[in-house]
């Protein structure tokens, strides 16, 4: 995950001692998770019970080439994975690696959910379903991953220029609402995407207006915008969508299969048989990475986010650049809202359920870099998908406890990371020209 | 910030007119209210079909424009009138009660409902305000209130205690529950630097899931029910109505809890050395560090108090209204923890300011219900107006420019913790 070239200032929470202690705490948590998996999911499973991985999508017509199911021993698999997790914990404890510690934590969290899945899908076992459909799991994760990447790209655009965009959730809501109305009336998701881009950009403009022109607290303005947009969406839902159901028919965007490539098992359905928003996300990912790190514009943006005074001295128009980036970031998040709606269907109040904030956490996890944000979004998206997948197996754990999991991972990641990651130096600081 | 700012010179007395038209915080708040109501009126106008139809016809009839204006003002007026009569008093009913001496309970119901709504709101907002004064943004007050409500209800419904101990124990349980939930973000912030905004927001979602888990699990669920509903509080653990159950007015003894919290907050912030540390840490973290204030201690204690008050508010809400918890407890726009953020900002994080702001926001929310019932305009408009008000309060320069006020406005809404901090 990228190398931070600037020297990190040594502060109290960043000193080597504090870092070592924190690394050891993380190592201890990893080992505890590994031991739990080993004893409960591994040794707690009867020897000789089996689980299998299947790779055919739920709707196999025109799907990928068939791949035979992989059946394996649930008992020994979970014991093995438990030992792998403990080994990762021991490695973190002894070697105290400086990079990718939280990445290892994320991988362990995914392994833990996978052992839980194997444990609940074991046969003979409590669940009538004795297979794990990997393809459908990854496809359902990809929907969340896509939205999270849109959100974290939006955050990166704004925060690299020094403005905290905590209103991503609000831009998602606005994009999803307008997107649903446009897609329902025109039946064309291209117009919906344009609508989402415009409304997201407008929300970004409001955020920029208050925080750049009046130097209001960016976090307060962002939170207030989210409150306003979520209550406005609830208001308009009752006032407009309920009396006119034609505005919210809930049709989803159809998939565009890339010829031949979509026939590849596992990879095909996940990467090459998705709706247009997925491909738009991939293109946007490349464009944002290139623009921010390989062009003069990107150099200016990063200069404005790190040291606006110095940037202004060499003739960069700080406020204008921040306006541009916050509006563009808002537009990206608005598009993400439409993308969410295009996969979930009918607009409902509160159905983004905090994804905008998880996207912010993904951005922090990814150290304000698109490549890191992708890794983080995949970890978060998979954990969301796994926790929902578990519901279909009669797991003896409450559905609601499982639903806490993505949020708890977010908290753990944020707690384990801040202090070791460095935000853009002027992030959230108002800039007073002159 | 303003606590440390240099006060204006006293001996140069400005004229009375200049004093009241300069950008003082009270005037800014009042004008923000006006702007918020104007914004709400625009929202009503552009979303009500009748009004839109009238505007569509302005070129079709010779009196199209006056007719459209008339319809707009009628609809907006009806909505705001419903908010007023539903939250303060219905003038006709009041006159009727005054002349005949009958129907007082009906006449007093709106104000009683406003006070009932405001009581937990004051408590939770003071918690949020104390955190703000320390430079901490506690967005998780709603989750802390949920946990406090659950903890208090568990003690109040599942443990048998003598009458006079039961209620205090339930209240203390609620405070402890909220404190536990508030301590986690506080400790994480103090020892790992995790930003409290992300952690408390994520905790809100965790607590909603926990709430549904709790009200659907065996010991806490109402016996004989399969719905998401908890046991009912014992009569010894409720906050009884102030005027007796027969009056039908729900305003309860919880008001005294709220008054005690206001006095406590005033003492803490203005009279205790801990409160001084809080405010220094909030106003200028580097000055606080230089003067030997233990930043970690301040963060953790501030979050403990903030979370404890939120938890208390959650239980006061339960014990003075429904007496049980269901799966929709404090969710969405009923979430007083979110309203509390805006209330604390409007009240400039001072105890008395928060009391007035709570009464205003409670009136908007309670009146909003009446508006929804009588005009069909959704209740959520109240939240829209509230967040618009706070947006303007957070941007005093804008209000000053709109109304062409004199003198630089004082802003106390700048948080000390901008960005993600370290």
pLDDT at B121 over 90: yes
Of A166, A214, A239, the CB nearest to B398: A214
pLDDT at B171: 96
CB atoms within 10 A of CB B380: 24
Nearest-angstrom CA–CA distance, A117 and A77: 12
Query: Chain B closest CA to A4's CA: distance in Å?
Result: 16
CB atoms within 10 A of CB B72: 21
Task: Please report which residue ranges of A187-274 form alpha helices under DSSP H.
Answer: 189-208, 218-236, 267
CB pairs under 8 A between A and B: 168
Nearest-angstrom CA–CA distance, A132 and A123: 12
Instruction: Calculate the dihedral angle through the C-alpha atoms of A8, A13, A16, A20, rounding to the nearest 10 degrees.
Output: -130
Contacts of B10 (CB under 8 A, 6+ apart): none
CA A122 to chain centroid, in Å, comes to 30
Residue located via tokens 């303005």: A221
Task: Find out whether A397 and B195 touch, Cβ atoms under 8 Å.
Answer: no
pLDDT at B19 over 70: no
Contacts of A282 (CB under 8 A, 6+ apart): none
pLDDT at A417: 66
- Residues of chain B contacting A232 with CB distance shorter than 8 Å: 43, 380, 384
Q: Please check whether residue A434 lies inside any domain of the structure.
A: no
Task: Find out whether A418 and B192 touch, Cβ atoms under 8 Å.
Answer: yes
- Residues of chain A contacting B422 with CB distance shorter than 8 Å: 11, 13-14, 418-419
Nearest-angstrom CA–CA distance, B334 and B347: 20
pLDDT at B323: 92
Average pLDDT over residues B118-124: 96
Task: Find out whether A8 and A422 touch, Cβ atoms under 8 Å.
Answer: yes
In angstroms, what is the C-alpha Rg of chain B?
A: 23
Residue B386 phi/psi, 5-degree rounding, is -60, -45
CA atoms within 13 A on the CB side of B94: 10
CA terminus-to-terminus distance, chain A = 37
Q: Which H or E run includes A52?
A: strand A50-54
**The two three-digit tokens of residue B48, written as one number:** 């009500």
Nearest-angstrom CA–CA distance, A4 and A414: 18
Say whether B193 and A404 touch across the interface (CB within 8 A). no
What is the reported pTM? 0.88
Q: Please check whether residue A429 lies inside any domain of the structure.
A: no
Nearest alpha-carbon partner for B380 in A227, A341, A351: A227
- Residues of chain A contacting B338 with CB distance shorter than 8 Å: 227
Domain coverage including residue A99: 12-417
B87: pLDDT confidence band, cut at 50, 70 and 90?
very high
Average pLDDT over residues B306-319: 96
**The two three-digit tokens of residue A277, written as one number:** 């928003």
Sign of CA dihedral A118, A123, A127, A128: positive
- Residues of chain A contacting B193 with CB distance shorter than 8 Å: 13, 418-419
Nearest alpha-carbon partner for A303 in A433, A163, A429, A161: A161
| A133: three-class secondary structure by DSSP | strand
**The two three-digit tokens of residue A300, written as one number:** 């200016």
**What burial class does residue B106 get, using C-beta atoms within 10 Å of its C-beta: 0-12 exposed, 13-18 middle, 19+ buried?**
middle
Nearest C-alpha in A relative to B382: A231
- Give the residues across from A53 on adjacent strands: A70, A132
Q: Please check whether residue A431 lies inside any domain of the structure.
A: no
Nearest alpha-carbon partner for B82 in B363, B388, B385: B363
Q: Please check whether residue A422 lies inside any domain of the structure.
A: no
Peptide bond preceding A358 in cis form (omega within 30 of 0): no
pLDDT at B59: 82
- Residues of chain B contacting A228 with CB distance shorter than 8 Å: 383-384, 387-388, 391
- Residues of chain A contacting B50 with CB distance shorter than 8 Å: none
Residue B102 phi/psi, 5-degree rounding, is -110, 160
CB atoms within 10 A of CB A31: 19
Task: Find out whether B262 and B122 touch, Cβ atoms under 8 Å.
Answer: yes
Task: Find out whether A106 and A408 touch, Cβ atoms under 8 Å.
Answer: no
pLDDT at A7: 33
Contacts of B390 (CB under 8 A, 6+ apart): A220, A224, B32, B341, B342, B345, B346
B420: pLDDT confidence band, cut at 50, 70 and 90?
low
pLDDT at B416: 43
Nearest C-alpha in A relative to B186: A415
DSSP state of B159: S
Nearest-angstrom CA–CA distance, A277 and A400: 30
CA atoms within 13 A on the CB side of A174: 27
- Residues of chain A contacting B140 with CB distance shorter than 8 Å: none
In angstroms, what is the C-alpha Rg of chain A?
A: 23
As separate numbers, helices (DSSP H) first and strands (DSSP E) second, chain B gives: 17, 0
Say whether A403 and B209 touch across the interface (CB within 8 A). yes
Contacts of A228 (CB under 8 A, 6+ apart): A170, B383, B384, B387, B388, B391
Average pLDDT, chain B: 87
CA atoms within 13 A on the CB side of A113: 26
DSSP state of A209: I
Nearest alpha-carbon partner for A227 in A177, A164, A169: A169
pLDDT at B29: 85
Q: How far is CA A290 from CA A57, A284, A375, B224, in A?
A: 34, 10, 18, 61
pLDDT at B114: 95
**What burial class does residue B279 get, using C-beta atoms within 10 Å of its C-beta: 0-12 exposed, 13-18 middle, 19+ buried?**
buried
CA terminus-to-terminus distance, chain B = 21
Nearest-angstrom CA–CA distance, A92 and A347: 44
Nearest alpha-carbon partner for A31 in A78, A89, A97, A84: A89
B414: pLDDT confidence band, cut at 50, 70 and 90?
very low
Nearest C-alpha in B relative to A211: B395
Task: Find out whether A195 and A315 touch, Cβ atoms under 8 Å.
Answer: no
| A255: three-class secondary structure by DSSP | coil
| A71: three-class secondary structure by DSSP | strand
* Poorest-pLDDT segment among B128-137, B221-230, B329-338: B329-338
Q: Please check whether residue A350 lies inside any domain of the structure.
A: yes
Contacts of A337 (CB under 8 A, 6+ apart): A171, A172, A173, A174, A175, A176, A177, A179, A196, A200, A352
Nearest alpha-carbon partner for A353 in A403, A390, A413, A415: A403
Average pLDDT over residues B3-10: 51
Task: Find out whether A223 and B341 touch, Cβ atoms under 8 Å.
Answer: yes
Q: Where are the domains of chain B?
A: 17-87+377-411, 115-359
Q: How far is CA B177 from CA A108, A322, B325, B326, in A?
A: 31, 43, 15, 18
Nearest alpha-carbon partner for A197 in A222, A175, A168: A175
Q: Please check whether residue A343 lies inside any domain of the structure.
A: yes
Nearest-angstrom CA–CA distance, B186 and B178: 12
Query: Chain A closest CA to B199's CA: distance in Å?
Result: 6
pLDDT at B412: 45
Which residues does chain A have with pLDDT short of 70? 1-19, 60-62, 396, 417-421, 434
Nearest C-alpha in B relative to A10: B422
Q: Which of residues 386-405 of B touch A (CB under 8 A)?
A: 386-388, 390-391, 394-395, 397-398
Domain total of chain A? 1
Nearest C-alpha in B relative to A362: B198
- Residues of chain B contacting A419 with CB distance shorter than 8 Å: 192-193, 422
Nearest-angstrom CA–CA distance, B294 and A133: 53
Query: Chain A closest CA to B307's CA: distance in Å?
Result: 18
Nearest-angstrom CA–CA distance, B204 and B188: 16
**The two three-digit tokens of residue A298, written as one number:** 């990107």
Nearest-angstrom CA–CA distance, B328 and B227: 11
Q: Please check whether residue A396 lies inside any domain of the structure.
A: yes
Say whether A415 and B194 touch across the interface (CB within 8 A). yes
Q: Please check whether residue A306 lies inside any domain of the structure.
A: yes
């Amino acid at each position: 995950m990228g190398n931070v070239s600037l020297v990190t200032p040594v502060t109290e929470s960043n000193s080597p001692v504090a870092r070592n202690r924190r690394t050891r705490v993380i190592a201890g948590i990893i080992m505890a998770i590994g031991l739990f998996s080993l004893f409960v999911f591994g040794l707690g499973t009867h020897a000789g019970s089996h689980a299998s991985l299947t790779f055919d999508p739920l709707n196999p017509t025109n799907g990928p080439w068939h791949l035979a199911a992989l059946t394996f021993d649930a008992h020994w698999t979970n014991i093995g994975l438990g030992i792998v997790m403990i080994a990762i914990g021991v490695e973190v404890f002894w070697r105290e690696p400086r990079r990718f510690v939280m990445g290892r934590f994320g991988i362990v969290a995914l392994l833990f959910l996978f052992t839980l899945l194997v444990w609940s899908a074991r046969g003979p076992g409590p669940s009538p379903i004795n297979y794990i459909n990997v393809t459908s799991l990854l496809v359902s994760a990809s929907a969340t991953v896509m939205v999270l990447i849109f959100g974290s790209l939006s955050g990166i655009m704004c925060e690299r220029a020094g403005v905290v965009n905590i209103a991503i959730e609000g831009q998602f809501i606005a994009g999803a609402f307008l997107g649903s109305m446009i897609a329902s009336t025109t039946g064309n998701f291209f117009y919906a995407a344009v609508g989402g881009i415009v409304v997201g950009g407008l929300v970004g403009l409001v955020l920029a207006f208050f925080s750049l022109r009046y130097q209001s607290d960016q976090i307060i303005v962002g939170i207030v915008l989210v409150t306003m947009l979520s209550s406005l969406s609830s208001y308009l839902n009752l006032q407009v969508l309920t009396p006119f159901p034609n505005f919210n028919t809930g049709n989803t965007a159809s998939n565009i299969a890339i010829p031949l490539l979509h026939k590849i098992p596992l990879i095909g359905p996940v990467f090459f048989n998705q709706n247009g928003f997925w491909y738009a996300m991939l293109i946007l990912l490349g464009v944002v990475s290139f623009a921010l790190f390989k062009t003069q514009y990107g150099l200016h943006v990063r200069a404005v986010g790190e040291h606006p005074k110095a940037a202004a001295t060499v003739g960069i128009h700080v406020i204008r650049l921040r306006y541009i980036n916050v509006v563009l970031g808002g537009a990206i998040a608005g598009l993400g809202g439409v993308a969410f709606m295009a996969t979930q269907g009918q607009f409902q109040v509160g159905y983004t359920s905090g994804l905008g904030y998880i996207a912010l956490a993904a951005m922090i996890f990814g150290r304000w870099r698109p490549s890191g944000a992708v890794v983080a979004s995949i970890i978060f998206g998979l954990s969301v998908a796994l926790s929902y997948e578990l519901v279909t197996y009669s797991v003896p754990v409450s559905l609601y406890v499982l639903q806490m999991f993505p949020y708890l991972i977010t908290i753990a990641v944020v707690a384990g990371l801040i202090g070791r990651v460095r935000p853009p130096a002027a992030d959230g600081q108002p800039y007073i020209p002159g | 910030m303003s606590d440390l700012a240099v006060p204006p010179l006293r001996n140069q007395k400005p004229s009375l007119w200049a004093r009241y038209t300069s950008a003082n915080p009270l005037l800014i708040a009042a004008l923000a209210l006006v702007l918020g109501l104007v914004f709400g009126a625009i929202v009503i106008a552009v979303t009500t079909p009748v009004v839109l139809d009238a505007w569509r016809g302005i070129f079709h009839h010779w009196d199209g424009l006056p007719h459209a204006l008339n319809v707009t003002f009628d609809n907006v007026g009806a909505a705001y009138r419903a908010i007023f009569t539903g939250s303060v008093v219905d003038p006709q009913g009041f006159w009727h009660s005054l002349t005949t001496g009958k129907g007082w309970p009906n006449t007093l119901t709106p104000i009683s409902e406003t006070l009932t709504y405001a009581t937990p709101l004051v408590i939770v907002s003071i918690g949020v305000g104390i955190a703000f004064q320390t430079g901490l943004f506690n967005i998780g007050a709603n989750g802390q209130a949920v946990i406090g409500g659950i903890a208090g209800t568990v003690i109040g419904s599942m443990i048998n205690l003598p009458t006079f101990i039961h209620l205090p124990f339930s209240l203390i349980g609620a405070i402890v529950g909220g404190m536990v939930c508030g301590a986690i973000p506080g400790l994480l912030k103090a020892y790992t630097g995790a930003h409290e905004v992300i952690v408390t927001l994520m905790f809100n979602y965790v607590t909603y899931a926990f709430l549904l888990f709790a009200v659907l699990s065996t010991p806490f669920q109402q016996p004989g029910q399969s719905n998401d509903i908890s046991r009912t509080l014992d009569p010894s653990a409720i906050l009884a109505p102030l005027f007796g159950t027969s009056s039908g007015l729900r305003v309860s003894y919880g008001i005294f809890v709220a008054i005690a919290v206001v006095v406590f907050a005033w003492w803490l912030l203005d009279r205790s050395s801990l409160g001084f540390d809080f405010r220094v840490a909030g106003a200028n973290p580097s000055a606080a560090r230089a003067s030997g204030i233990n930043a970690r201690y301040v963060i953790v204690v501030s979050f403990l108090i903030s979370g404890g008050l939120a938890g208390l508010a959650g239980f006061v809400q339960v014990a003075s209204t429904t007496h049980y918890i269901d799966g929709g407890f404090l969710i969405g726009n009923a979430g007083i923890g979110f309203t509390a953020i805006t209330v604390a900002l409007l009240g400039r994080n001072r105890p008395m300011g928060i009391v007035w702001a709570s009464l205003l926001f409670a009136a908007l929310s309670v009146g909003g219900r009446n508006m929804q019932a009588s005009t069909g305009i959704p209740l959520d408009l109240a939240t829209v107006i509230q967040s618009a008000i706070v947006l303007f309060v957070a941007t005093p320069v804008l209000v000053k420019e709109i109304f062409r006020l004199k003198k630089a406005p004082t802003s106390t809404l700048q948080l000390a913790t901008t960005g993600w901090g370290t």
